[in-house]
Structure formats: structure tokens, C-alpha cells
Structure 1
Amino acid sequence: MAISFKVNHPITADQFIGLLESSTLGERRPIHDRDCMEGVVSNSNLIVSAWDNSVLVGIARSVTDFHYACYLSDLAVHGNYQRSGIGKRLQALTQEHLGPLCKLILIAAPAANSYYGEIGYTHNDRCWVLDPGATIGD
């Protein structure tokens, strides 16, 4: 298996949705909202992707300022390609495109929670989420 890795290579919403469906991330993303998925892909400013010929098999999709913080929004690897080092390589290539002081930040899927600690991330329990439709109180 010869996997190629690309940075900011064009990805269609259909390719992205297909990858999410073939990984565990599809169940936690609004894959049936095409407008949302198109916006997700087109508004990310750092996408590292893994390809098996013309098939998208992995993605590290981030929003970043490249200097201080990089939010790794999606890390997905096709189920048939998992446990082959693709996810680690996607993260390493993401890091290579960031400044030396830039932190890589993510919210782990429940099934992947222990994975990140094993590869060098530190746990931070101070994440807060404001859901759509919620109001900020006084």
C-alpha cells in the first residue's frame, strides 16, 4: 500500500463525507447536512490528507493561526487503513506546518481518548462548549 500525503489538496464534500462514513467520526458529524460539510471543508485553513491513489483514506482538518493555536477539528482514517500509522503521520505533517510555539488542540472522540495520551498529548479538562441555540447568560 503506497499512501501519499498532501497538504491543502482540494477535497470535495463528497470525498470528506465518504471518509467520515468509513471511520468512526461519521456518527458525530452532521454528514447529512451538505451545506455544513461543504463549509467545513472550504473554511479549514490547514488540511493534510492521505490518499491511496485517488481514494481519500485519511484527513487531519484544522483551523489555525499557525503561530499560537491549531485546533485539529477532524482526524479521521478509513476503517480499512487504521492502525497503519496514517493518523500519526497526518498529525506530524500538521505540526510541520505550524510555528515552533503553536499548540495542537483537539477534542477526542470517546473511543480515541486513550490514544492521544499514548502518542504524547497532555490531557486538559478545561474545555467548554457552547451548543448552537444556547444563550450566553449574564
Structure 2
Amino acid sequence: MSLEYKINAPVSVDQFIELLNESTLGERRPVDDRECIAGMLVNGNLMVSAWIGEQLIGVARSMTDFHYACYLSDLAVHRSYQRKGVGKKLQSLTQAQLGPRCKLILVAAPAANAYYEHLGFTNNPRCWVLNRDQQISS
């Protein structure tokens, strides 16, 4: 079967969890919290997916205003299809949905830094994270 890419195609919670687990991204995502995963799918506003038949083999899930900034929250490719250009194509198709001034922004796992640099991303060390259980200091 051939590989097909889709823009904003429906993805079920089970399909997404299976892909996260098969891509190693499941180690850093709440795959045991179906309600959270469902919210991630419903509230992202740009998702490019890769399919072989009915099997989801890749996804680039983003939050964007389409004009200035696009946060690529999840880039997952099934282990069996990694190093075959699927992730690169998902990112390229994501970027193609954005306006001409829109930046593609992501937070990479440490092991993936060289991958993104190779694609032309610029490293920016100014990312900050505030977990929900923490309070903003006065």
C-alpha cells in the first residue's frame, strides 16, 4: 500500500496512543490519560498525518495562528517508518499550511537536536516551562 498524507484528518485516541508508543514519544506524553489525549487531539488546530491504509504511521500536531507562530507540539513517526523521510515530509506539509511569515517552533528531545539542526532549524535556548501544579511567583 502507498503512503498517504492528510491535513486535519480525524485521528482516534487509540490510534494516537498507539503511534505515540510506537514512536518513543509515548515516553514523554500522558498515554495513560485518555481524557488528556482526547483533549490534545480536539484542541490542536493543525494536524498533518501519514497513513498506510487505515494505519496511522506519523503525525505532526500543532497549535498555530497561521501568521506568526506555529508550535509543533508532537512529531511522531512509527519506528518501522523512521529514517525514510516521513517526519521531514510531515514538517514540510505543516509549514506549507502556514503564512509566509509564520515560524515553526518546537521543543526537541535531547537526542533529536541534531535531527532538527540538519533540517535547518535554529537552536534557541530561551524556552521556559511552568507546570500546572506550580504557581506563578508574585
TM-score (norm 1): 0.98
Please state whether the residue corresponding to 1:63 is helix, strand or coil.
strand
How many Å separate the matches in 1 of 2:85 and 2:125?
27
Q: Which amino acid in the other structure matches residue 119 of structure 1?
A: L
Q: Which amino acid in the other structure matches residue 101 of structure 2?
A: L
1:25 correspondence with 2:22: no
**Number of equivalenced pairs:** 138
**Identity over aligned residues, as a percent?**
62
How many Å separate the matches in 2 of 1:3 and 1:19?
15
CA deviation after TM superposition for structure 1 residue 109, in Å: 1.3
Q: Which amino acid in the other structure matches residue 40 of structure 2?
A: V
TM-score (norm 2): 0.98
How many Å separate the matches in 1 of 2:52 and 2:42?
22
CA deviation after TM superposition for structure 1 residue 114, in Å: 1.2
Q: Which amino acid in the other structure matches residue 121 of structure 2?
A: Y
User: Paired residue for 1:36?
Assistant: 36
User: Paired residue for 1:6?
Assistant: 6
How many Å separate the matches in 1 of 2:84 and 2:104?
22
User: Paired residue for 2:123?
Assistant: 123
CA deviation after TM superposition for structure 1 residue 10, in Å: 0.4
Please state whether the residue corresponding to 1:76 is helix, strand or coil.
strand
**Structural mapping, 1:11-90, within 5 Å:** 11-90=11-90
CA deviation after TM superposition for structure 1 residue 110, in Å: 1.9
User: After TM superposition, what 4+ stretches of structure 1 lie above 4 angstroms from structure 2?
Assistant: none
Which stretches in structure 1 are left out of the alignment for 5+ residues?
A: none
Please state whether the residue corresponding to 1:22 is helix, strand or coil.
helix
How many Å separate the matches in 1 of 2:108 and 2:20?
15
How many Å separate the matches in 2 of 1:44 and 1:55?
21
Q: Note the alpha carbon deviations across 1:110-135, whole angstroms, 9 max, x for none.
A: 22111000110000000000012111
Q: Which amino acid in the other structure matches residue 49 of structure 2?
A: S
For the aligned residue pairs, the C-alpha RMSD in angstroms reads 0.7
